[in-house]
Structure 1
Amino acid sequence: MLSCVADYRIAARKRLPRLAFDYLDGGAEDGDALRRNLDAYRQWLFRPRVLTDVSQCSLATQFFGHAAQAPLIVGPTGLNGLFWPRADELLAQAASHAGLPFVLSTASTSLLEDVRAAAPGGDLWMQLYVPKDRRIAEDLMRRASAAGFSTLVLTVDVPVHGKRDHDTRNGFALPLRVSPRLVADCILHPRWCWQIARHGAPQLKNLARSVGERADLSRHAAMLSRQMDLTLTWTDLAWIRRHWSGKLIVKGVQGRDDAVLAHAYGADGIVLSNHGGRQLGSTLSPLELLPQIADELGDRLGVFIDGGIRRGSDAVKAVALGARGVLLGRAPLYGLAGRGGAGVEEVLALVMNEMLITMRLLGCGKLARLGREFVERAPV
């Protein structure tokens, strides 16, 4: 096991070619939103209590009636097969072994049925993008329900893809196009190149099955990037409910007004998220939004957060400020890209251990006691 998530990022950078690492690591435009996500956690400092009994310390919680070993969820990320073969299955397995939920992306490179088989006892959630042809989304919901996925995560902050300069510079496109630059990069990263050659280029298998076609990465990537349903509105949560009987979370909320609407239209939870800084290049960080929204709505719906979590102490700060749970995106992917399934398990164990250390040093032995009194905004 490496010492911290940052070391797994270094391992991922060494193993992946530039275009794959930048796709994982980069943000939109100049990266301002991505940096703000990271910096937001440094603006909150801990206020520990001493001489308290922390001999027994537990992170255990539950999400919608399902037990979890920590207030962590492995969040939805797309095209993970670019980083390691059978990536989504390995991520789900690692989450299940850690006692955490896993959210499978619509843009997954493993079939949701295969992910369920890889994590038969895991709490699996399904992330949903809605294409123009809503029958595709309806079929994804039907399949996820049949496979025992408990929760639907409707992502609403991607009507179109954000502008990612690093992808343009690297000539990143789906499917990958052979170019002198890519060939040179592959020569410098032979392990990654050998795995891609052996297992084949990643395909958007879930989308292909629900479209009813063979896997065709270029066609289905175009469907996600240019054929999203731009007419989707809050009233369409009623349509979702007609096709999904489980819990419903709206992901991509970036302000109080939309949080209130999510509750009004019947969502069970929201994820405060700017898509990891990968969509709009300049936004508030989710952590900056969290205290007000959690104070106003946290007793009426589940308020979750993602973006910028690189330490267990970051997750503790988010929970102290009112988050029901924290979605991890890049952190487990660094483990995956650097060391495969073992790397994911190591990263999850590392973050959970850092949370326990932080809780004990705070003098807080129970997650239910973790609140605003343990954090304070840093002086300006």
Structure 2
Amino acid sequence: MVSSVADYRLAARRRLPRLAFDYLDGGAEDGDALERNNNAYKQWLFKPRVLKDVSLCSASTRFFGREAAAPMIVGPTGLNGLFWPRADELLAQAASRAGLPFALSTASTSLLEDVRAAAQQGDLWMQLYVQQDRAIAEDIMRRASAAGYSTLLLTVDVPVHGKRDHDTRNGFKLPLKLTPKLVADCVTHPLWSLQMARFGSPQLKNIAKSVGERADLSRHSAMLSRQMDLSLGWADLDWVRKHWSGKVIVKGVMSADDAALAVKHGADGIVVSNHGGRQLGSTFAPVEVLPGIVDAVGDKLTVLIDGGVRRGSDALKAIALGAHGVLLGRAPLYGVAANGLPGAAGVLALMHDEMTIAMRLLGCQTLADLGPAFIGNANEAMSEVTHRRLHCRT
């Protein structure tokens, strides 16, 4: 019986060869930022209220005027076809059924048009990397707009790819090359291997279509890793607006100063994010810097956050600290990697249930009831207790 996202992670680890699982699960360099992300929510503890009417409890919210069943978005993740065939389409379908938005990565292995068909009327967001040849990004924006995607996530924290030691150790290069080590790994993971043999190697189909070329994983992955536009700046939000009429969110903000610049340059929202700990090897966790960012920008734009959300209660902690919602990255990927569509749907349902249970235990009927009074930092609380004790002795 699967009881938590951690259980789905274990199931994904059993099914995937090490090369694929490490790509999903690993972080940059020694993994310090990833570990900090995973542990940061444990430092925030709830302060529940009791004898509150919680008979009618709902985690529903709105993102840019559209209803969502919970303050969660299935966030953009790349090369998902490595974990399950048509994974992007399955994730979008699971999100749509759960009443949640889904964000598709530029590095998706399904065409954005196919993802739209899978999600039917679901709310779709498009994540954008800007390469040196900006015509590629312009074409992706045009296609996404034509397909009815509502929101653009402009990712700004990947001018170059972070150093990922696990990929180097595993010999992870695209396209995958058969080596004795990889063959041995595949033999011990037959279900994954049979799927790959049947459906073929994943391809970066969106980039290929917007470049106007046939799919070529080696070439197009190299374009993503080595041909990003290093000149991209805040003023380029004006360029984005020329090609995108919907909402624009800047993803990858980790400082109050950059949040203020996002307001100044007319962004509709930001995602407080360190890219899941996959870029800089040593950074604060997003939830650690969230309160300062919320203080700096208030309600001037929508503040979202990702990184380390593994429980519905983690999402509630982010909401209590001022975020409007959370992006889920690895959590639904563990589900789809473990069991395709049922796995992805299971993760989303599980986290929604956890959220509702926690809201009732906190004494909150709606997200509007939740605020800073319901949460405290364990480290700060202990420091205050220690200070008081020392003060009393003097």
TM-score by length of 1: 0.99
1:82 correspondence with 2:75: no
Range moving further from structure 2, 352-361 or 294-303: 294-303
Corresponding position of 1:160: 160
> Does the CA-based 8 Å contact 2:77-2:104 persist in structure 1?
yes
Q: Secondary structure at the match of 2:221?
A: helix
Corresponding position of 2:44: 44
| Alpha-carbon separation, structure 2, partners of 1:363 and 1:369 | 8
Task: Please state how far the C-alpha of 1:296 moved relative to its aligned partner.
Answer: 2.6
Corresponding position of 1:106: 106
Q: Secondary structure at the match of 1:304?
A: strand
1:118 correspondence with 2:112: no
Task: Please state how far the C-alpha of 1:120 moved relative to its aligned partner.
Answer: 1.3
Amino acid at match of 2:211: V
Runs ≥4 residues deviating over 2 A? none
Q: Secondary structure at the match of 1:136?
A: helix
Q: Which runs of 5+ in 2 are unaligned?
A: 383-394
Amino acid at match of 1:116: R
| Alpha-carbon separation, structure 2, partners of 1:192 and 1:298 | 46
Corresponding position of 2:13: 13
| Match runs of 1:105-254 below 5 Å | 105-254=105-254
Q: Secondary structure at the match of 1:166?
A: helix
Q: What is the number of equivalent residue pairs in this alignment?
A: 380
1:283 correspondence with 2:287: no
| Alpha-carbon separation, structure 2, partners of 1:2 and 1:217 | 35
Amino acid at match of 2:296: E
Q: Secondary structure at the match of 1:53?
A: coil
1:344 correspondence with 2:308: no
Amino acid at match of 1:51: L
Q: Secondary structure at the match of 1:149?
A: coil
CA deviation profile, 1:48-75 (whole Å, cap 9, x unmatched): 0000000000011000011000000000
1:62 correspondence with 2:62: yes
CA deviation profile, 1:255-299 (whole Å, cap 9, x unmatched): 011110011001000000000000000001110111121123131
Amino acid at match of 1:313: S
Task: Please state how far the C-alpha of 1:33 moved relative to its aligned partner.
Answer: 0.3
Corresponding position of 1:310: 310
Q: Secondary structure at the match of 1:117?
A: helix
Task: Please state how far the C-alpha of 1:313 moved relative to its aligned partner.
Answer: 0.7
| Alpha-carbon separation, structure 2, partners of 1:206 and 1:156 | 19
Task: Please state how far the C-alpha of 1:123 moved relative to its aligned partner.
Answer: 0.1
> Does the CA-based 8 Å contact 2:79-2:108 persist in structure 1?
yes
| Alpha-carbon separation, structure 1, partners of 2:205 and 2:196 | 16
| Alpha-carbon separation, structure 1, partners of 2:347 and 2:341 | 10
> Does the CA-based 8 Å contact 2:259-2:296 persist in structure 1?
no
Amino acid at match of 2:186: C
TM-score by length of 2: 0.96
| Alpha-carbon separation, structure 2, partners of 1:145 and 1:179 | 42
> Does the CA-based 8 Å contact 2:83-2:337 persist in structure 1?
yes
Amino acid at match of 2:329: G
Q: Secondary structure at the match of 1:251?
A: strand
| Alpha-carbon separation, structure 2, partners of 1:299 and 1:124 | 24
Corresponding position of 2:259: 259
Task: Please state how far the C-alpha of 1:366 moved relative to its aligned partner.
Answer: 1.1
| Alpha-carbon separation, structure 1, partners of 2:316 and 2:235 | 35
Amino acid at match of 1:181: K
Q: Secondary structure at the match of 1:248?
A: strand
| Alpha-carbon separation, structure 1, partners of 2:257 and 2:321 | 19
CA deviation profile, 1:104-128 (whole Å, cap 9, x unmatched): 0000000000000001110000000
CA deviation profile, 1:303-326 (whole Å, cap 9, x unmatched): 000000001110010000001000
Amino acid at match of 1:12: A
Task: Please state how far the C-alpha of 1:346 moved relative to its aligned partner.
Answer: 0.3
CA deviation profile, 1:192-213 (whole Å, cap 9, x unmatched): 0000000000000000000000
Corresponding position of 2:389: none
Corresponding position of 2:392: none
Corresponding position of 2:24: 24
| Alpha-carbon separation, structure 2, partners of 1:162 and 1:292 | 26
1:371 correspondence with 2:367: no
Q: Secondary structure at the match of 2:149?
A: coil
| Alpha-carbon separation, structure 1, partners of 2:268 and 2:317 | 23
CA deviation profile, 1:31-62 (whole Å, cap 9, x unmatched): 00001111110111000000000000001100
Q: Secondary structure at the match of 1:198?
A: helix
| Alpha-carbon separation, structure 2, partners of 1:54 and 1:192 | 44
| Alpha-carbon separation, structure 2, partners of 1:357 and 1:208 | 44
| Alpha-carbon separation, structure 2, partners of 1:286 and 1:175 | 32
Q: Secondary structure at the match of 1:215?
A: coil
CA deviation profile, 1:223-254 (whole Å, cap 9, x unmatched): 00000000100000000000000000000001
Task: Please state how far the C-alpha of 1:149 moved relative to its aligned partner.
Answer: 0.1
